[in-house]
Every structure is written in structure tokens, then in C-alpha cells.
Amino acid sequence: MPSLKKAPLPPGPTKTFFDNLHELHLRAGQPSTRKMESVIGKGVLSHTTIHKTFAGDKVPEWGPVELIVECLASMCGDVPDKTTSRFRTLWIQARAGHDSDLYLDESMQKDGETTEEPARGKPSEFGSVPTHFRRLDATIGGLKPGSLIAIMSTPSEGKSCLIVDLARAASMAGVGTLLFSSEMSRGEYTLRMLASEALVDITSLRTGQLSDEAWARLARRMSEVADAPMYIDAPTNKSCNQLIDAVKRSTERHNIGLVLIDGLGLLISQEHAQSGGQHDAGSALTSLKTLSTQLNLPVVVTVTTEYPHDDRYHLDPPTSWGLQRAARLSELRYGREIFEIADLVIAIYRPDHREPESPRAMEADLVIAKNRYGPTGISTVIFQNQFMRFTNMPPIPTDNPPSLPA
């Protein structure tokens, strides 16, 4: 029996998935589609669907794939459960790197794309975008149109997790969301969104070692995440000006209500490398602030910083520590420019990140260090590391967040 047709695909997780599927078919003796239909069961999966599963250039739904893999595994003497688990991992990786609804379309991904007229963009029709963190929204009133929001943290303290949470909450609520990053791949952001939305362990998701219950939750959520108006350009090598042009083109084609940029430092470095000149934080932040004002939408940017080994930054109790640290953020790298230009500055402080034995394990303070529109304060949330997400604290009857010292 001749081998089934295989669509030509570029290197990547989708090609790896189909290569493995065809290799399994080969080891099973290359049964015909009608033979597989018979083994699977008449009326369960048609030979036409089986043929399309093998010959397509897009990752199929998991249901047909699971039946085909179980069929072929039994034909070639493999352990069906073990083979199915391996293909689940390959399928998730392929879907994470393939669903075009999750990513910027090709016309928006071309670096350096030029037009005769500069991209102008279309102002957003959305109002304030809720963060879905109750205490934070109660203080800041959501992410306001025309505002520049800076999220600051030390390495590995959660800034990328928080930006994924904001992207997930907005897009799942129907708000068109753009995410640019030089820090992680598209697939990694998608895996994080799936893990946090379906509440599955991120490590188990990467390895495919999930329980049946977790697989069921993942399957229910995957289509919802794929249908969300979320557009990811990552890893991107755009300079600041190219990124701004891409945002403006995107708003012409899509109803965008939120722009997120994960990694100010890398954006500045890319601008410097491409221009050959000095492009400082102030220039980049000013450009992003202008963009938010022109398009009337919130622009969120993350900033990695380090805190000096100085007693002034290590005070007790923890709440005082967060307040005092926030009051001195302007002294840090990019701090002066951020406090001068940004409308809202949020610093992440996780006590157990620095002190594993902290009594505040799993807690995180979102320190509102600057708020042009209202009060400052501290919003305490929970960090669920296994799901790579922040979530709300249980409600407390009376909770007035402390104000920052003048």
C-alpha cells in the first residue's frame, strides 16, 4: 500500500507532528484509510476524515487524531496509552505554534514593512479594560484608554506572568489584544495561557503527563482560547518605531483595545542595534505614551530591574517593605523616566521569591507606586506558580489599601 500523501510544511512543531504521524503509519504497515476505518469502527470515523487528517497542512482536532493513533499503535504492537500520551504532547506543541487566530497575521509580522503613507491607526472603541483583579481594579479603575502602564519587577518575580494574565483576561472578555515580546516564543505564551485558563500544571502540560481530568479541562478551554481576539508577535525583533507602525496597522485591521509589550530593555536594545545610535528609555517611553494617546488605548510595558543590596530596600514588616521600595523605585534603572512619563506604575513584590520560608508564601503585592488618575496603594493577590498565573485573594470584608507616603 503506498504511503498517504503528506503536505509540504516548513520546519516547526506542526511538521514534527505530521512527520511522527506518518512514521507511525509506516510502522503499522501503511494500512489504507478504509482499513483504519474498519478497525476504528464503522460510523465512528470515515475514511475521508482519516485521509484529511494525514494530508492536511493544519493541525486537526484531537478527537480524530486520538482514534487514529490508538488504531495504528495497536497495529504495530505499541502500547496505545503510551503512544497516545506522546502524540498528545506533539499535538499541543503543534497547536500552540499553529493557531493563526492567536498570532498576528502575516502582513503584520513582516519586519520593516513600508507603505507609501505612514500607518495612522484607528482609535480604540473600548473603554477602560478591567484587569479582573478585584482590589487592583477598585483602586485604578481598570487600564484606561490613552494611558501608559509600566509593570516593574526583578527577574523571575512574575512580570511576564502578569502580562499574560492581563492579555488572557482582556481577550477572553472580547477585547482585541496585541502582545509583543522579545523574551519568549509564541508557543510559550500560548502554553502559559492554556495552563492558567485550564488550571493545568505548566510542567505537566509541557511534557504531556496530564491526568484524564486535566486533559478534559484543557480540551474544553483550548477552543475558547483559540477563538479569543489575541494577536501575538513573539519573539519579535522589531525596533520601537517598527513596533509602533505594526500596532497602527493592526488597529486598521482589527478592533484592538489593549497593547502589551513584554520587555522594555530588549526593545531599547533592538532600537539601538538597528539605528546604530543611542535610543534611551525616555525616548521609547515617550513614543509609547504618544501611541497610547493617538489610538486612545492602554499600552502596558514590562520593565526588569534590580534592587540595590541596601538596608533601605529591606525593611520589616513586609507591607512597609513594599511601600518603601515603591517610594524609591524612581532611583532604579529606567526609574526616573518611567515615573516621569508613565501614567500608572505597578511594582510586583513576592515575599517568598526572596525568602522561601516567608509566612506570606504564594502571596504577591501589586504595589501601585504611581497613579495619575487616583490613589496609590497595595493590591495583594495570590501567585499560583504551577499554573503560571496571579489570581484574586479571597474576599475580606473591610480592605482599605494603604496609601504610599508622599
Interstrand relation of 389-392 and 148-153 (parallel, antiparallel or unpaired): unpaired
> In the chain, pLDDT over 90 holds for what percent of residues?
30
The per-residue pLDDT for 103 is 41
Cell of 383: 501567585
- Assess whether pLDDT exceeds 80 at residue 275: no
Provide the 10 A C-beta neighbour count for residue 255: 14
The highest-confidence range among 53-62, 105-114, 121-130, 154-163, by mean pLDDT, is 154-163
For the chain, the average pLDDT equals 80
- Assess whether pLDDT exceeds 90 at residue 167: yes
Amino acid present at 274: Q
CATH of the domain at 183: 3.40.50.300
Cell of 65: 487524531
Q: Span 302-329, mean pLDDT?
A: 53
- Report the range of poorest mean pLDDT among 51-65, 258-272, 375-389: 258-272
Q: Are residues 41 and 187 in the same domain?
A: no
- Assess whether pLDDT exceeds 80 at residue 372: yes
The per-residue pLDDT for 90 is 81
Domain boundary among 45, 71, 98: 98
Report the SS3 class of residue 153. strand
Q: Are residues 146 and 231 in the same domain?
A: yes
In the beta sheet, which residues pair with residue 178?
231, 259
Q: Please report which residue ranges of 254-295 form alpha helices under DSSP H.
A: 264-275, 281-295
Q: Are residues 67 and 159 in the same domain?
A: no
Q: Are residues 86 and 108 in the same domain?
A: no
Q: Are residues 216 and 335 in the same domain?
A: yes
For residue range 189-232, what is the model confidence (pLDDT) as tens digits?
888 988 999 999 998 888 777 888 888 888 888 878 878 898 88
239 CB burial (10 A radius; 0-12, 13-18, 19+): buried
- Assess whether pLDDT exceeds 90 at residue 116: no
pLDDT band at 89 (very low <50, low <70, confident <90, very high): confident
Q: Span 93-103, mean pLDDT?
A: 53
The highest-confidence range among 4-8, 126-130, 244-248, by mean pLDDT, is 244-248
The per-residue pLDDT for 226 is 79
The highest-confidence range among 35-44, 107-116, 169-178, 326-335, by mean pLDDT, is 169-178
The per-residue pLDDT for 236 is 77
Interstrand relation of 363-371 and 344-349 (parallel, antiparallel or unpaired): antiparallel
Q: 169 lies in a domain?
A: yes
pLDDT band at 109 (very low <50, low <70, confident <90, very high): very low
For residue range 16-74, what is the model confidence (pLDDT) as tens digits?
889 999 999 999 999 999 999 988 887 788 888 999 899 888 888 888 888 899 999 98
Domain boundary among 98, 116, 140: 98
* Largest distance between two CA atoms of the chain: 79
Q: 320 lies in a domain?
A: yes
Task: Find, among 277, 291, 194, the residue nearest to 241 by Cα.
Answer: 291
Domain count, the chain: 2
pLDDT band at 393 (very low <50, low <70, confident <90, very high): confident
The per-residue pLDDT for 1 is 52
Compare 131 and 6 and report the one with higher pLDDT: 131
Structure letter (DSSP) for residue 4:
P
Distance CA(393)–CA(382), nearest Å, equals 6
The per-residue pLDDT for 395 is 65
* Domain housing 305: 103-392
Sign of CA dihedral 244, 248, 251, 254: negative
Q: Are residues 196 and 85 in the same domain?
A: no
Q: At 192, phi and psi to the nearest 5? A: -65, -40
Q: Are residues 70 and 180 in the same domain?
A: no
Q: What share of the chain is helix, strand, coil (3-state, %, to 5)?
A: 50, 15, 35
Q: 1 lies in a domain?
A: no
